[in-house]
Amino acid sequence: MNYEIKTQGKFKYIEEGEGEPVILLHGLFGALSNFSGLLDYFKQHNKVVIPMLPLFDLNILETSVGGLAKFVHKFIEARGYKDFHLMGNSLGGHVALVYILKHPEDVKSLILTGSSGLFENGMGETYPKRGDYEYIRKKTELTFYDPAMATKELVDEVFEITTNRLKVIKVITLAKSAIRHNLGEELRTITVPTLLIWGMNDTITPPMVAEEFHKLIPNSELHYIDKCGHAPMMEVPAEFNVIMHDFFKRLNNGTLKVNAG
């Protein structure tokens, strides 16, 4: 993904295109490259913004879902984004939910895909196993319906994290925070139009999680993508982009009809 990483103070981010801002939040083992297909498409229609979340740079007391949501708030304030769409995958979805519960005023819509916040199958109690490349490869493959999506480059990125003792501590701390910071009835207070895009074959946040989000978030609509795992925007970007773009079009022309809860 050959896009310029911009810097403003402590913030590093990608910003491409013009129009309504779409802010994308990656997950625990995610990276900016997770959104390459989405960025290539939506930069033609929107201002696409991908902040680098400081998963390994916050002090240990702030290494939490809430700490990341505060970071996102400071980033959005610093950049002055208004009337934006907020999208998150996995842990990024959880961060987006915590953010919108505290700061709903400038969010035009919320998009969640494979989001944590209600229930997720983690990498398992034995994860991360340091130095076991084959174990990391198999665990990375579980993210996708098609195991070939777990390229050597992607597995190498995850493996590098698991060989760094401090990063391992931060990963475990964030994972435990996500489990503790479980959302429930408070999701009923989210009033912005919400789009849920879920892989039918997601084993980390299974379809029942999507159903629960759909039930709890009043103005929500749910789309499943068959033969797709935990990261639809990576695995089937073309289909993902069509669903999300259609949602934006209906939202802007006043024809959006969503679940009343």
pLDDT at 32: 74
Confirm whether 20 is domain-assigned.
Answer: yes
Confirm whether 261 is domain-assigned.
Answer: no
pLDDT at 125: 44
**DSSP 8-state symbol, 80:** T
Confirm whether 1 is domain-assigned.
Answer: no
Contact 184, 213 (CB under 8 A): no
pLDDT at 74: 97
Query: Which residue bears the tokens 């060989």?
Result: 163
Range of the domain at 170: 6-253
At residue 205, what is the residue type? T
Q: Which residues are CB-neighbours of 162 under 8 A, at least 6 positions away? A: 128, 129, 130, 131, 136, 168, 171
Could you count the other beta carbons within 10 Å of the beta carbon of residue 47?
Answer: 17
At residue 98, what is the residue type? V
What is the chain's Cα-based Rg?
17
Confirm whether 258 is domain-assigned.
Answer: no
End-to-end Cα separation, the chain, in angstroms:
39
Q: Which residues are CB-neighbours of 175 under 8 A, at least 6 positions away? A: 28, 122, 123
Sign, CA torsion 195/197/203/208: positive
The total of structural domains in the chain comes to 1
At residue 230, what is the residue type? H
pLDDT at 126: 46
CATH of the domain at 142: 3.40.50.1820
Confirm whether 260 is domain-assigned.
Answer: no
Question: Per-residue pLDDT for the chain (261 aa), expressed as one digit of tens each?
Answer: 678 999 999 999 999 999 999 999 998 887 777 899 999 999 999 999 999 999 999 888 899 999 999 999 999 999 999 999 999 999 999 999 999 999 999 999 999 999 999 876 654 444 455 678 998 899 889 999 999 999 999 999 889 888 888 888 898 888 888 888 889 889 999 999 999 999 999 999 999 999 999 999 999 999 999 999 999 999 999 999 999 999 999 999 988 876 544
Dist. CA 165–CA 88, nearest whole Å: 27
**DSSP 8-state symbol, 147:** G
